[in-house]
Structure 1
Amino acid sequence: MKLEGEAKLLRVFVGESDRWHGRPMHEAIVAEARRLGLAGASVFKGFEGFGAHSRIHSAKILQLAEDLPVLVEIVDTEEKIRTFIPVLDQMIQEGLVTMEKVEVIRYQPKGKNA
């Protein structure tokens, strides 16, 4: 699959202690995105942040790292991203999901030509 031009960036903000059927939420989101054929997903772990409850979660040396923020980013066509949103609605009880327009410069799996 080759993806270039206008696309959508889906960002899913959750906590590292969030779970879906006993599995870390970020792992479950990536697995579902792959199962549904989205172009790709990346997971980033934050070292500090706060959410809806305004409680700071931090990985400072003198504090116990507890429920650090995790960000899952997925880029694909608008159509594919929009079909994935109802899946997230079923999975996420608490978190933030954003979507924005992006321009893909190049996405082409290695060894594949247009």
Structure 2
Amino acid sequence: MTLPRDAMLLRVFIGEDDKSRDRRRPLYEAFVFEARAAHLAGATVLRGPLGYGHSTRLHSTKILDVAEHLPLVIEIVDTEEKIKAFLPTLDAMMSGGLVTLEKVQVLLYGDSVKHDPA
């Protein structure tokens, strides 16, 4: 699979404890499996050690704090058309959170090519 230089980044901000609508698995896991089923170029889940959302309640990994509902960010990059086609699936899976879209430039996707410095 190749990606064009001009692509789109879908970024989803949710909590670690958020569940899919069927309540059987974590929402972040459901997103990644759905993105893979939709043949999107790739998805990554990032766990944040500290954050807050619209409630302004802090969620932290500090030892003195209860590490609950930590922030997660799911990033998915593909063509604008494929990302926009995936949005209804995403919408059906979410009951809250934050979703952003950004135009990005893909500089490298897949195996890197080593260049001879000479």
TM-score range, shorter chain: over 0.9
Which stretch has the larger CA shift, 101-110 or 48-57? Answer: 101-110
Secondary structure, in 3 states, of the residue corresponding to 1:51?
Answer: coil
Aligned-pair Cα RMSD in Å: 1.2
Q: Distance in 2 between matches of 1:34 and 1:96?
A: 21
Instruction: Describe the superposition over 1:33-80 as per-residue Cα deviations: whole angstroms up to 9, x where unpaired.
Output: 000100000000001100011111111111110100000000000000
Q: Distance in 1 between matches of 2:87 and 2:28?
A: 15
Instruction: Report the counterpart of residue 38 of structure 1 in structure 2.
Output: 40
Q: Distance in 1 between matches of 2:14 and 2:82?
A: 21
Secondary structure, in 3 states, of the residue corresponding to 1:30?
Answer: helix
Q: Distance in 1 between matches of 2:80 and 2:19?
A: 27
Using a 3 Å threshold, how does the CA distance of structure 1 residues 85 and 109 change in structure 2: closer, same or farther?
A: farther
Counterpart contact for 2:4–2:79, Cα < 8 Å: no
Instruction: Report the counterpart of residue 12 of structure 2 in structure 1.
Output: 12
How many residues are treated as equivalent by the alignment?
110
Instruction: Report the counterpart of residue 84 of structure 1 in structure 2.
Output: 86
Q: Distance in 2 between matches of 1:96 and 1:50?
A: 12
Instruction: State the identity %.
Output: 55
Instruction: Report the counterpart of residue 2 of structure 1 in structure 2.
Output: 2
Which structure has more strand as a fraction of its residues? 1
Gaps of 5+ in 1: none
Q: Report the Cα offset of residue 9 of structure 1.
A: 0.4
TM-score w.r.t. length of structure 1: 0.93
Gaps of 5+ in 2: 113-118
Which stretch has the larger CA shift, 73-82 or 57-66? Answer: 57-66
Q: Distance in 2 between matches of 1:52 and 1:99?
A: 19
Q: How does 1:1-114 map to 2 (within 5 A)?
A: 1-20=1-20, 21=22, 22-108=24-110
Q: Distance in 2 between matches of 1:98 and 1:76?
A: 14
Amino acid at match of 2:37: R
TM-score w.r.t. length of structure 2: 0.89
Q: Distance in 2 between matches of 1:72 and 1:48?
A: 16
